[in-house]
């Protein structure tokens, strides 16, 4: 079984003097001001959850975008800082963007264009020439930062997600033969008809085929990518070997289902501190004697939060005997609020919570507790442990690591996972109750099924899921990607 020690030994013995550099739009930690003190805060999201333990193991360099004014105050002259704050083990090199660059590259091309294009959530993508110019500009800045970091050394550059599709192309144009590049695509890859909407589809495909290795979450996303290339570019595709040849360059394309640090999360969730926090949260949310249903998502239209709220509403209508006997706690981090669709979604969620609570409240009891404030990771672990049911209701998702985190915290073999059929995780965690978030009737029925499930059934299902997540952990994922990279040779003169 892959673990942190095995990954570290593999890297030390096989990577030799190769540097490992991760490049992503999102940084793993941000700095904020609390009172008179600048504090370091771990960022939420699947990418950070997955990659932080890898970077702590390999002592590499992470290149990401600084987002707060305090991020700039703590870096050195090379815009670098050592992290994590309590046990520094890797470097974070921050890139700082102007407001115009953020608007065009991040809010514009990435999140109004590529994000809805890649998710079947019925949101029309928007592409503008100005946003495309900023997207290219920021990708070039990332390539320059990587080249500056690599110098004349050999390096594996591991690029993350849809924000940085052109970076490898710019690295190739620098004619540095010492760099091997891989990109991991964290979200779904659309079918070729949908991808054909993008005006810059050929440029993006050529940018992706500048990598030595492309990783997707599941095989169907690889198949969609092959079909997109086939319909847009002159190329040769060998599906048996998982290789695309374009302009005499070969790119390996494979699925690598991402995961979590199972052992660390499981151990931390069992700690005395978490148990104490569980008791405090029981008091804070008035949970004693009640079943707890829990959800945690970034506020995004792909996550199905309104559908989850409507299912809770329908559940109470169908099963009124559960009034005052449960509480649904939904955490949601506000994101991309500058994009009108996200602001509208935030307003919709708040309105639904008010309406449903008004409709069903009795005395001091309200069925839904919703907060969009930042919540410490220890509190999230405590809520996982308290939850009789955890709901993941994504309308379309690459993997969804909340599902795997919930499973990792339940060493007591208690709890029920309700998991959308439209997540990558549903392909692995088939012992969850699989739901269709678009169908409020069956969704409400699944909530009732989860609350009524017998202890022995819960134990059987949870044990199977825990075995899967434990075996397919984050170190196995990273080890598989890096092992594939180690099979590639530098094209040295």
d(CA 403, CA 389): 11
pTM of the model: 0.92
Q: If we measure between CA atoms, which residue out of 299, 316, 293, 258 comes closest to residue 480?
A: 258
Predicted confidence at residue 64, as pLDDT, reads 97
Q: What is the mean pLDDT of each run of 10 residues along the chain (493 residues)?
A: 80 80 94 90 78 83 95 95 92 97 96 95 93 98 96 92 97 90 96 97 98 97 98 96 95 96 95 97 95 96 97 98 97 84 93 98 96 91 98 96 97 98 97 98 98 98 98 91 76 36
Predicted confidence at residue 211, as pLDDT, reads 97
Predicted confidence at residue 395, as pLDDT, reads 97
For the chain, domains (ranges, CATH) are 4-259+475-486 (3.40.50.2000), 262-470 (3.40.50.2000)
- Dump pLDDT digits (tens) for 219-264: 999 999 999 999 999 999 999 999 999 999 999 999 999 999 999 9
Predicted confidence at residue 489, as pLDDT, reads 52
- Dump pLDDT digits (tens) for 92-116: 999 999 999 999 999 999 999 999 9
Secondary element (H or E) of residue 186: none
Predicted confidence at residue 8, as pLDDT, reads 78
d(CA 381, CA 378): 5
d(CA 205, CA 55): 28
Residue 157's alpha-carbon distances to 62, 145, 174, 344, in angstroms, are: 10, 12, 14, 37
């Amino acid at each position: 079984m892959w673990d942190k020690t095995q990954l570290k030994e593999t890297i030390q013995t096989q990577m030799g003097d190769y540097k490992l550099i991760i490049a992503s739009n999102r940084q793993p930690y941000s700095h904020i001001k609390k009172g008179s003190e600048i504090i370091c805060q771990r960022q939420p999201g699947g990418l950070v959850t997955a990659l932080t333990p890898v970077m702590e193991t390999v002592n590499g360099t992470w290149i990401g975008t600084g987002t707060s004014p305090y991020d700039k105050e703590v870096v050195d002259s090379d815009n670098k800082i050592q992290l994590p704050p309590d046990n520094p083990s890797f470097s974070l090199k921050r890139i700082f963007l102007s407001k115009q660059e953020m608007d065009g590259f991040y809010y514009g091309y990435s999140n109004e264009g590529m994000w809805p294009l890649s998710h079947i959530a019925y949101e029309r993508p928007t592409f503008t020439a100005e946003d495309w110019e900023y997207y290219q500009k920021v990708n070039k800045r990332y390539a320059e930062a990587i080249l500056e970091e690599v110098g004349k050394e050999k390096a594996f550059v591991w690029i993350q997600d849809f924000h940085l599709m052109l970076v490898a192309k710019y690295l190739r144009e620098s004619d540095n033969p010492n760099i091997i590049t891989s990109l991991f695509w964290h979200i779904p890859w659309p079918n070729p008809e949908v991808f054909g909407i993008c005006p810059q589809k050929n440029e993006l495909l050529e940018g992706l085929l500048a990598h030595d290795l492309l990783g997707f979450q599941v095989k169907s996303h690889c198949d969609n990518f092959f079909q997109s290339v086939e319909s847009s570019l002159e190329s040769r595709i060998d599906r048996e070997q998982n290789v695309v040849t374009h302009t005499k360059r070969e790119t390996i394309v494979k699925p690598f289902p991402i995961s979590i640090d199972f052992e660390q999360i499981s151990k931390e969730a069992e700690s005395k501190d978490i148990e104490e926090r569980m008791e405090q949260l029981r008091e804070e949310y008035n949970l004693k004697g009640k079943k707890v249903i829990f959800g945690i998502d970034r506020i995004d239209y792909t996550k199905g939060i309104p559908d989850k709220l409507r299912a809770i509403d329908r559940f109470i209508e169908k099963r009124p005997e559960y009034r005052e006997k449960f509480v649904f706690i939904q955490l949601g981090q506000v994101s991309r609020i500058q994009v009108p669709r996200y602001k509208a979604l935030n307003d919709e969620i708040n309105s639904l919570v008010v309406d449903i609570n008004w409709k069903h409240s009795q005395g001091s009891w309200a069925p839904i507790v919703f907060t969009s404030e930042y919540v410490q990771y220890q509190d999230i672990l405590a809520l996982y442990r308290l939850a009789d049911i955890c709901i993941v209701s994504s309308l379309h998702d690459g993997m969804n690591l909340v599902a795997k985190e919930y499973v990792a915290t339940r060493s007591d073999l208690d709890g029920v996972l309700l998991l959308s059929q439209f997540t990558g995780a549903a392909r692995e965690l088939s012992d969850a109750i699989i739901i269709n978030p678009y169908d409020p009737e069956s969704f409400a029925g699944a909530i009732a099924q989860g609350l009524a499930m017998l202890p022995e059934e819960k134990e059987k299902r949870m044990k199977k899921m825990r075995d899967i997540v434990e075996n397919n952990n984050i170190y196995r994922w990273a080890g598989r990607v890096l092992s594939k990279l180690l099979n590639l040779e530098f094209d040295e003169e």
